[in-house]
């Protein structure tokens, strides 16, 4: 059996992809943390998960999350088994005080995320889960 190696991203690749992200007002399913992370995975790793996570309202997003017994379980189903040590370009889940769980992309000692206030960076100490991307 052939082992599939993870795809590595460089910091410069992440910054280039960030510059291609179309900024705009927060909107579930289009301009939120999951759609941002899906965009970054496609840009950095060439894998498109957009068809896996389709919703357009907060209620629809919550229904999908609840049907998978939680946000982590949902993302595990889409991205596969988590890894212990995230590196640059890995999709990650963070747990922020007052916000809760949200998705983003590891960037050095920080994480690029989209919140209701827009695109921002947070310390990587908030990471609670991470995944590697493998070409399918």
Most confident by average pLDDT, 11-15, 48-52, 130-134: 48-52
**pTM attached to this predicted model:** 0.89
CA 128/CA 102 separation, integer angstroms: 10
**In this model, does residue 6 exceed pLDDT 70?**
no
Mean pLDDT of 49-74: 95
pLDDT for 68-124, tens place per residue?
A: 999 999 999 999 999 998 999 999 999 999 999 999 999 989 999 999 999 999 999
What are the start-end ranges of the H helices in 1-136? 11-20, 33-45, 58-67, 71-79
Domain membership flag for residue 94: yes
Domain membership flag for residue 78: yes
Domain membership flag for residue 15: yes
Looking at residue 96, which CATH number applies to its domain?
3.90.1720.10
Backbone angles phi, psi at 109, to 5 degrees: -95, 20
12 band by pLDDT with thresholds 50, 70 and 90? confident
Domain count across the chain: 1
The pLDDT score that the predictor gives to residue 1 is 44
Domain membership flag for residue 6: no
Domain membership flag for residue 27: yes
The answer to whether residues 130 and 94 touch, using CB atoms and an 8 Å cutoff, is no
Dihedral in degrees, nearest 10, Cα atoms 21, 79, 61, 112: -40
13 band by pLDDT with thresholds 50, 70 and 90? confident
Q: Which domain holds residue 68?
A: 11-130
Domain membership flag for residue 4: no
Domain membership flag for residue 136: no
**In this model, does residue 24 exceed pLDDT 60?**
yes
Domain membership flag for residue 30: yes
């Amino acid at each position: 059996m052939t082992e599939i190696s993870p795809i590595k991203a460089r910091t410069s690749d992440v910054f280039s992809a960030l510059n291609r992200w179309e900024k705009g007002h927060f909107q579930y399913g289009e301009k939120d943390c999951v759609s941002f992370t899906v965009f970054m995975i496609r840009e950095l790793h060439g894998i498109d998960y957009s068809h896996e996570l389709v919703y357009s309202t907060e209620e629809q997003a919550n229904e999908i999350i609840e049907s998978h017994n939680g946000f982590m379980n949902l993302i595990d189903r889409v991205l596969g088994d988590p890894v212990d040590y995230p590196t640059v370009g890995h999709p990650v889940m963070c747990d922020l005080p007052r916000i809760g769980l949200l998705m983003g992309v590891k960037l050095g000692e920080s994480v690029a995320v989209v919140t209701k206030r827009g695109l921002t960076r947070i310390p990587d100490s908030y990471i609670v889960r991470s995944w590697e991307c493998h070409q399918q």
